[in-house]
Amino acid sequence: MPFMEKSKLMEKSNYLQSLETKIDTLIHLCKQLTDENKALRESQTHLMSERAALLEKNTLARTRIEAMVARLKSMEVST
């Protein structure tokens, strides 16, 4: 095999090796991003549930406070 053919063959081999390494890196990155995305979605679901519970507590507290204020006002008027 002439030297030029061997040289081109080695270049192609190096190129393919480089390409394989890049593909492996992309596969790893894709897996990492998929895992991170899953964790973020789970966190988002948890935070949305927590937010809904806090909004409900806030509404309940507001209702109770408004009722207390109304009673206090009625006590003021009756005295």
Q: What whole-number distance in Å separates Cα of residue 35 and Cα of residue 20?
A: 23
- State residue 6's pLDDT score: 76
Q: What whole-number distance in Å separates Cα of residue 63 and Cα of residue 69?
A: 10
- The gap between the terminal CA atoms of the chain, to the nearest Å, is 113
- State residue 5's pLDDT score: 80
Q: What whole-number distance in Å separates Cα of residue 58 and Cα of residue 65?
A: 10
User: Could you read off the pLDDT of 41-63 as tens digits, one per residue?
Assistant: 999 999 999 999 999 999 999 99
Instruction: Please give the helix or strand (H or E) that residue 2 lies within, else none.
Output: none
Asked whether the whole model's pTM tops 0.75, one would answer no
